[in-house]
Structures are given as structure tokens and as C-alpha cells.
Amino acid sequence: MVFSSLLFLYAFLPLSLACYALCRGQKARNISLLLFSLVFYAWGEPKYVLLLIFMSFADWFCALRISALEDRADKKAWLGAAVIIDLSLIGFFKYAGLLCSVFGPVPAVIENIALPIGISFYTFQLLTYVIDVYRGEAQAQRSFWRVLLYASLFHQCVAGPIVRYQSIAGELYGERSSRGELLPGIRRFAAALAKKTLLANPCGALADALLTGDLERLKSLTVLGAWLGAAAFMLQIYLDFSAYSDMAIGMGKMLGLHYPENFNYPYVSRSVTEFWRRWHMSLSSFFRDYVYIPLGGNRCSRARNLLNLFIVWALTGLWHGASWNFVLWGLYFFVFLMLEKLFLRRLLERTRLLSHVYLLLIALVGWILFYFTDLKLGWAVFTDLFALNGNRPSDFITVTVLQNNLFLLIASCLCCTPLFKRLGERLDARFAARGGAPAAAWEIIRSCVVPIALLLLATSSLVGDSYNPFIYFQF
């Protein structure tokens, strides 16, 4: 079940909200939220809900032992046990095939292992819980069911954002109120749903139409077709993933829960360093605080600092998928981060326009590496971009495709900038200053009319449309 499905929109979500509202007391509401979260997860993979429960239990138990012990060595042993359990399970389900491929053909039994949905996300969340307890930054939770609720929240369990235990525990287990946040939550959810269905899905369909095929077909892509396909995927992956995160944040607000922002318009960045401070921020901050800083961060020699960055970005690439193209994708960004740290960033700061162009070009090429698990196909498209395959600049079909999708591409590009957000803030301020009837009318428009219109547009696009993936579900 995905957020942008009619079943979720008109059955699961309304029913979960109604049951939550009818429950009296926070304990009853959390039980309702837990049951709906487990049903949501089990809907796609019934057997793997047991894996989620087991991993939650293991981290809950290890955290209790860490909290109960005084000796630091004993605490570290239980922390090690939790980390080994979590990483071993995600390693088996996600990376067994990649590991076997290093030594020879992958056995059929390994190839047939299905990847549990969201295992990369809820594993990291559980790791933050047990590590924060070990560090003394969070209290061990006595109730197993509360830890399971934290790990399984259906809003963000399967594709983020990655929510740290210490940042949500107070709201999740204490008395909370959604008063005054229901409508903003609905507004955030409706805007994200429209972004997903009206922009991300068509961009994805365009990218797949241009970039899918065998090696010979991809080598014969026109230059315009290669750029158009790469740009469409570049737009899709941002609009798709940010829409999911925004929907999760919106649903959290409906219940009085505040999940961290995950995107901050990364394509307006002027360097790769800035890009990764704006893209998938919950993952970037996880690797910073739980891997990079413990390794020594930048408080060490230049050589050691570069080694720390290398490890972090190799792991970042590997986190995204069990394929060598993801590892290379992570190391690709490491190279540019290293160059910026050494000298390139100082040059980029001198010119605003060229620094933007630089970032967009680096990101676009990186997404080609991300898109193709077969490196030969990715290389073919990369060479198409610069006419290195002897391919034509364009043809009638490609020009027609561009013309037919021009409005979609323009609208998608605008939604990658803070333009609409700033416009909304200015209108809010203007009508608030007027007060009275104009302010009341504007509040009705922004809180009711616009969300309903976006919901209806999104629904109409979903009816009969079979193309409705969420890219990050596969991770």
C-alpha cells in the first residue's frame, strides 16, 4: 500500500484517523496507531512484519540491559550485540547477493530473497534508539510495545524521514494534541500528493520511456533525448521522494507529531557540499552523527579526514542499494566533496551562476549512475549526452516529446525552487495584515478550497493510471 493509492486515501487513512480520534486517552490512541501501522506494513509483506517485530524486540532488550548496567565495557558489549543483530539482518536480506557476486555466481536461493520494505529506514531508526541510550542521551523504554510503535509508525516506516528516538519520544509517549495542526497537516499532505501524482509520476514515465531499453537502443539516443531523459529522472527522484517525506510530515502533524524536514530545495544549491545539506537531510545527519563524527570527523589530520569522508560516502552509496552502481554513485559524490574541501569550493563562491550550473550538471550525471544498475547502460547514456556515440543532436520524435512535455518540465522545475512557498508566505502576511473578512476568506481558501482541489486533481490522475511507484520503497 502506498500513500498515493486510492485505497490508502479513501479507506486506510480516514479509518485510521477516525479510530485515533475516537480513542480516549493517549495510551488507547497509541494502541490504535500501532495496530494500523502493523496492518499497513503487513499489507505489502505479511511475513516480514515478524522481522520488524523481532528487530524491535532485540533493540528494546539490549537498550534495557545497557541502561541497567554500570560498567562501561558491559554496556558496550550490549551495544555491540544490538548493532551486530541489526546490521547482520539488513546485510543478509539486502547485501547477501552483492557479497556472493564478489566470489562467483549468486546462488538461486540468495537471488530469490525478497527485500523487506523499509528495512534500511527502520533499521537506522532502531540504531539511533539503542545508541542514544548507550550515550545517555535517551532513557531506555520499559515497554516493548512503545519501541515497536516508534519503529513501525506507518507515516514514515518504509521510506523515511529517519526519525531519531530522542526527537520524537516526548511527543509519541506523552500527552499530545493535534489542535490547530490538523488543517496544516492536511494542507501539507494534499500539496505533496499533488506533487507526487501530477508531477513526479509523469516525469518518471517520461524518464522510463527515454532511458529504458537495451544497449543498442540507448547508444542510438539523440543528444536531446539523453538530456531530456536524464533531466526527467532528476526531477522525478526529487519530486517523488520529497513528496513522500512531505506526506509523512503532514500525517504526523494531523496527530500532533513533528517529524524532521527531509528536503530543503537541494537543486538551488551552489556546491555539492550544500546539496547534501539539503538532500535527504535525515540520512545525512545520521551518517554525520553516528558514523563520521565517531570516526573522528574533521578533528584529525587531513588524510584521516578524507578517509572518514570516503568511508561515509561508500556506506551512503551502499545504503541505497545492493549494486555496484550505488557504491560508485556514493564515491562519485565523495570525489567532488573532497575537491570542494581542498580548493574547489573557494572558486565556486566567486560566481553564483556558474556554481549553480556546476551543481546541476554534477547532480544530473550522478543520477544517471544512480538510475542504471547495469553500468554499461549508464555509460551509454552518459556518452550520448556529449554525442560521443556518433548520435544525432535530435530528431522529429524527440522534439515532439519535448514539446508535449514542456509545461510539465517547467512546472516541475518551478516546484524544485522555494518560489511557491515564498508566494504563499507573502499572501499569508498580506491577508493577515488586512484582517477581518479578507483574512477569513483567505484562510478558507488556503485551508479548505486549495487542499480539496489538489486532492481532486490527484485523484483524477490516479484513476486508471498504473504508473505510481515510490522510488525509495526499494531501499
Active site residues: 320
Omega cis (within 30) before 105 = no
The residue to which cell 488507547 is assigned: 28
* Distance in angstroms (rounded) separating the CA atoms of residues 459 and 475: 26
Please name which of 193, 85, 93, 59 lies closest in space to residue 474, comparing C-alpha atoms: 93
- Take residue 200 and report the three cell numbers written for it: 513526479
In three-state secondary structure terms, 274 is helix
Peptide bond between residue 161 and the one before it cis (omega within 30 degrees of 0): yes
Question: Which residues neighbour 285 within 8 Å (Cβ) at sequence distance 6 or greater?
Answer: none
d(CA 26, CA 389): 63
d(CA 316, CA 308): 12
What are the start-end ranges of the H helices in 45-181? Answer: 49-68, 72-103, 108-111, 119-135, 144-152, 165-173
Helix (H) or strand (E) holding 377: helix 375-385
List of residues 6+ apart from 22 with CB closer than 8 A: none
Q: Interior CA angle at 46 toward 45 and 51, to 5°?
A: 85
Residue 360 is placed in which grid cell?
A: 546541476
Dist CA 183 CA 185 (whole Å): 5
